[in-house]
Structure 1
Amino acid sequence: MLPGTFEEILIRGGLLAILLYALNASGTRALKAAVISSLVFGSLHFINLAGGQTLEATIQQVIYAFIIGLAFAALYYRTGSIWPGIILHILTDFTGDYSGGTATMMPWHELVMYFGPLLLISLFMLRPSQDAYNAHGLVR
């Protein structure tokens, strides 16, 4: 529960907000901030190699953490709050299948089946969000 809360505060509550402020006002500022913060979020999961997780399982975890990061960024833009992301992150960590710590290797086609649709939906949600965010601030 605590790692997910900390990660959401750090990445969505901190880094994403800093990136939105730091990037030049453009039609793609919100999308760029979401992608950069999600890349950082995914990359943080490389730390699990130190805990004995296999390289392939870690690479998968980095990929799906990046995709989940995009979804949580879109959720943040839509709600103006990090709380929905915190709650979903805690629930995701409780499932055990896709949590921090030692992730298990899944067949690559399952990774695509599970997270491909989430990636597409997240990118779709980020498109309207970036336009509204850049013009008026967070969509509420």
Structure 2
Amino acid sequence: MQKFKQFASKYPLTFVFLMIVVLVLLMGGAAAAAVGLLGYAMTDVMPQIIGQVVATLGFLFILWRFGWLAPAGILQKGGRHIWLVTIIILIYTGLAVLYAFSGTFRVDLTLTSDMTPVLVHTTLAGVLEEILLRGLILYALVSQWGQKRRGVVAAVLVSALLFGALHFFNLATGEWSITALQVLEAFVSAILYGGLVLVGGSVWPAVVLHSGINLLANVVALNEPGFVMTVPIYWTLIILDLPTVIYGCYLLVKVRLALPDTPAKVPMMAH
């Protein structure tokens, strides 16, 4: 594992793309095993949940063996200020989702037992993606590129681009125009997530924000029979995301740069 860590430090960008391959293999392999061994159908949500859990544990294992659990923000809870900011953004973004989905803030948010698998799946998606993209991947890049401001920005943009690109998998079940806008919306949201992690020193505010938005969006959609995402909905979301993107860019300006002589040991946070 030490040689693998040295590889990650020497070739951070290659390591990052390798982690995306590992994500696909872990999730796909675990889901396929669940189908074959437990009798689930490929269309069931449960194999996907099992894949998410296995992948999350796999990346936590890598972070642990690398000694990155603390500096990557997994073991840090974040200060009161970053949590206050996160709550404010979550409220704003939640209202934006309600307006984009229905054109009003008065929607049905009823929770029923049959929603549970989908809501667990969408919540775990936020946990997995933030631990991988804003935990492991972002720290791998910042620890090597963080001596300069442009390196920090590049690290956030790479993690954001990867987050957006992962949504291209939705082409299997959606239209090109919808998927392209979903990729764009994910990319701009990820700039904020990256800024929160770098400044707050904890991945958990981003996890709560990401999973919270996913949860709300799915509750709204599940309570609307026949609901489908449309191009106008995504454009509305993207436009309403702009203030949070601007704030995310502002956070990048506040990030303390890593020290040139100890890049791999510098926590990616500013106090």
Equivalent runs, 1:15-54 vs 2, <5 Å: 15-23=137-145, 25-50=147-172, 52-54=173-175
Deviation at 1:39, TM superposition (A): 0.5
The aligned counterpart of 2:126 is 4
Query: Does the CA-based 8 Å contact 1:70-1:122 persist in structure 2?
Result: yes
The aligned counterpart of 2:257 is 133
Deviates further, 17-26 or 68-77: 17-26
The alpha-carbon distance between structure 1 residues 6 and 26, as it changes in their structure 2 partners (threshold 3 A), is same
The aligned counterpart of 2:207 is 86
Deviation at 1:26, TM superposition (A): 1.9
**What is the aligned counterpart of 2:193 among 72, 84, 87?**
72
User: For residues 47 and 114 of structure 1, what CA distance do their matches in structure 2 show?
Assistant: 25
Query: Does the CA-based 8 Å contact 1:75-1:84 persist in structure 2?
Result: yes
Partner secondary structure for residue 257 of structure 2? helix
Identity of aligned residues (%): 28
The aligned counterpart of 1:100 is none
Deviation at 1:76, TM superposition (A): 0.4
Query: Does the CA-based 8 Å contact 1:12-1:76 persist in structure 2?
Result: yes
Matched, 1:95 2:219: no
Query: Does the CA-based 8 Å contact 1:30-1:134 persist in structure 2?
Result: no
**Which runs of 5 or more residues in structure 1 are unaligned?**
98-102
Query: Does the CA-based 8 Å contact 2:193-2:206 persist in structure 1?
Result: yes
Deviates further, 76-85 or 107-116: 107-116
Q: TM-score, normalised by structure 1?
A: 0.84
Give the letter for the 1:139 counterpart.
A
Count of residue pairs the alignment pairs up? 133
User: For residues 27 and 113 of structure 1, what CA distance do their matches in structure 2 show?
Assistant: 27
**What is the aligned counterpart of 1:115 among 218, 221, 241?**
241
- Return the index of the structure with the highest Cα Rg: 2
Query: Does the CA-based 8 Å contact 1:27-1:134 persist in structure 2?
Result: no
Quick one: higher RCO (CA 8 Å, sep 6+), 1 or 2? 1
- Cα deviation, 1:18-41, whole Å, max 9, x if unaligned, reads 111232622322111001110011
Deviation at 1:128, TM superposition (A): 2.0
Query: Does the CA-based 8 Å contact 1:78-1:139 persist in structure 2?
Result: yes
Runs of 4+ displaced beyond 6 Å: none
The alpha-carbon distance between structure 1 residues 24 and 110, as it changes in their structure 2 partners (threshold 3 A), is closer
Query: Does the CA-based 8 Å contact 1:41-1:65 persist in structure 2?
Result: yes
Give the letter for the 1:105 counterpart.
T
Query: Does the CA-based 8 Å contact 1:60-1:105 persist in structure 2?
Result: no
Aligned Cα root-mean-square deviation (Å): 2.2
The aligned counterpart of 1:104 is 229
